[in-house]
Structure 1
Amino acid sequence: MKFTATPAMLAIAALAAMAAPAAQAQDTGWYAGGNVGRAGATIDDDRIRAGLAGQGLVTNALANREHDTGYKVFGGYQLNRNFAIEGGYFDLGEFGYTARTTPAGTLTGDMSARGLNLDVVGTLPLSERFSVLGRVGVTSMRTEGSFSATGAARVPYASANSSQTSVNAKWGVGVAYAFTESLSMRLEAERYRLKDSVGNRGDVDMVSVGLVYRFGQSSPATRTVAAAPVPAPVPAPQPVQVTPPAPAPAPAPPPALAPAPAPAVAAAPVVLTRVNLSADSLFDFDSTVVKPAGRTALDKLVADLRGVRYGAVRVTGHTDRLGSADYNARLSERRAAAVTDYMVQTGGLARDKVVASGAGETMPVTVAGNCRGASPTAALRACLQPDRRVEVEVHGTR
């Protein structure tokens, strides 16, 4: 049997290879998972007919078995937000054909393919939940073939049962959706190069869906900065009285020394300013990347702080109630961190004076009952818009 390539798969793989380098850094850690799906190969009918013609036979009918269920199990290590190393075991299923000839005879061939793989996986996040994948790797694949003939037909190979182990390339593309920090789903299209049991080279394509579990994932830690202690007031010294000796008449005693003035008590920090920035103006939906309109607002805020004596800046992210509380908490933390990073890197704020945290959906500003419903309709999202915000408080002394 011979397996031929599908050009569309090559185009998709090239697109993924170009997209993956644009991603930025992410969490590291171990993960494991499995996929199941449909594998397919294109059998070279012309070669089969030519082989039977060489025996003086005419092929009357040729029935192909080009699809089967395939699966893979894998484990990997996420090096950063862009790249992971992944290894696993795969089984692409079985494929075959039955040819009927004149004079009367049949030739049947079957082949299976399975093995081990090691891939480099590139990831390009599109939002907090969606990302696209591209992969390239190598396989150690074992193919096993069996052939049988009846009537006038003969098996055209030296052995009716054969096997072949070879090292080959593989590549693929896909998309992923994260249900939680730990659990996500993948939809993938992959191409496996192979050398079959009778020496032919070709490809098997598999489209599959599966789950990935990441070990030890948790919400990102909130960055905190300890507030500077307020110095206690220094007690004023007591006045010193100088008295001359009693018996001797002497000049009038010197006047008592005036008490030294007490040092000023440091003023307690107060909130100098509080600004609420709409999350919709800072970020696109489900994103933590500050967009141009948001950068303009933050640039103005940082410019207003120049010359102000501030001790700390507190940045708090807030979300509306749509979605899970756990997801909203993580989204609010990441948006607060994104605003903090922008003001530090672009505006020149001292990082050790900035406190970033997320309140999630716990501190809405909309009145309960005014925005009814649970489905994320356009009207409900517009009603809850004030809840989606990032609050910036500047603490200092006047």
Structure 2
Amino acid sequence: MKTLLIATTAAALALSGAAAANAQDVGQVYGSVGYQGTQNDTTDTNVNGINARVGTKITPHFGVEGEAAFGTNDDNGPGGEYKLTNKVAAYGVGFLPISPRFDLIGRVGVSDTNLKAPAVAGKLEQGTALEYGVGAQYHLENNFALRADYTKSDFNGDKGEAGTTSVSLIKKF
């Protein structure tokens, strides 16, 4: 499954690069930095993190984005402290403009998540997850927007689920 994640991420970045070279014709490239909180059902923990996203609008209503995140806090769970080590993800994103300044967003993708865990090895690889979520963004003046979204992660096998709420500042290029 990691191979699938790497291939999907590479394809998303390739599409982003192609669109960036011709941004005025096919869409808009953006990057964001945000803060996220994740409720992990498997470890019964709440871990927070910083995320960064890069994406592009291929059409006015569809785009792709890649995401990377790392943890900022520990939380007590079964057996000790847990912390988000890293997460990488790739998504297809749908945009529904409600007004010139407000969009609803839906996204579907795959991710790979690792946690620092109290296990002997010190690492819990939750692995690949199907991700899906909804959100909204408000376009500020110039090339900035604020975005809030909720994304559900369904991990492969018996590795459970997680829900992540995120707030981000977007810069459009």
> Which bracket does the TM-score occupy, shorter chain normalised?
0.7 to 0.9
Distance in 1 (CA, whole Å) between partners of 2:70 and 2:153 is 11
Match of 1:118 in 2: 90
Distance in 1 (CA, whole Å) between partners of 2:118 and 2:103 is 42
**Secondary structure, counterpart of 1:180 in structure 2:** coil
Shift of 1:202: 1.2
Shift of 1:146: 1.1
Unaligned runs of 5+ in 2: 1-24
Distance in 2 (CA, whole Å) between partners of 1:88 and 1:160 is 26
Distance in 1 (CA, whole Å) between partners of 2:110 and 2:129 is 6
Which residue of 156, 169, 172 corresponds with 1:211?
Answer: 169
What's the TM-score, normalizing by structure 1? Answer: 0.34
Match of 2:77 in 1: 97
**What is the identity, as a one-letter code, of the residue corresponding to 1:180?**
E
Which residue of 62, 66, 80 corresponds with 1:87?
Answer: 66
> Structure 1, residues 59-86: CA drift from partner, whole Å, max 9, x if none?
xxxxx6x323222101011101101110
What's the TM-score, normalizing by structure 2? Answer: 0.72
**What is the identity, as a one-letter code, of the residue corresponding to 1:110?**
E
**What is the identity, as a one-letter code, of the residue corresponding to 1:205?**
G
**What is the identity, as a one-letter code, of the residue corresponding to 1:211?**
L
Does the CA-based 8 Å contact 1:31-1:77 persist in structure 2? yes
User: What RMSD in Å do the two structures reach over aligned CA positions?
Assistant: 2.6
Map of 1:242-253 to 2, 5 A cutoff? none
Which residue of 90, 100, 112 corresponds with 1:140?
Answer: 112
Match of 1:129 in 2: 101
**Secondary structure, counterpart of 1:146 in structure 2:** coil
Distance in 1 (CA, whole Å) between partners of 2:162 and 2:103 is 25
> Structure 1, residues 165-197: CA drift from partner, whole Å, max 9, x if none?
6222111110110013511110111122346xx
Residue 80 (structure 2) pairs with residue 109 (structure 1) = yes
Distance in 2 (CA, whole Å) between partners of 1:97 and 1:36 is 21
Residue 97 (structure 2) pairs with residue 164 (structure 1) = no
Higher helix proportion (structure 1 or 2):
1
Does the CA-based 8 Å contact 2:51-2:70 persist in structure 1? yes
Higher strand proportion (structure 1 or 2):
2
Residue 75 (structure 2) pairs with residue 41 (structure 1) = no
Does the CA-based 8 Å contact 2:37-2:164 persist in structure 1? yes
**Secondary structure, counterpart of 2:41 in structure 1:** coil
**Secondary structure, counterpart of 2:59 in structure 1:** coil
1:27–1:182 Cα change, 3 Å: farther
Distance in 1 (CA, whole Å) between partners of 2:138 and 2:117 is 38
Larger Rg: 1
**Secondary structure, counterpart of 2:99 in structure 1:** coil
> Structure 1, residues 359-397: CA drift from partner, whole Å, max 9, x if none?
xxxxxxxxxxxxxxxxxxxxxxxxxxxxxxxxxxxxxxx
Shift of 1:200: 4.4
State the structure with bigger RCO (CA 8 A, min sep 6), 1 or 2.
2
Unaligned runs of 5+ in 1: 1-25, 45-63, 99-107, 148-158, 216-398
Map of 1:1-398 to 2, 5 A cutoff? 28-42=27-41, 66-91=45-70, 94-97=74-77, 108-113=79-84, 114-147=86-119, 159=120, 161-164=122-125, 166-194=127-155, 200-215=158-173
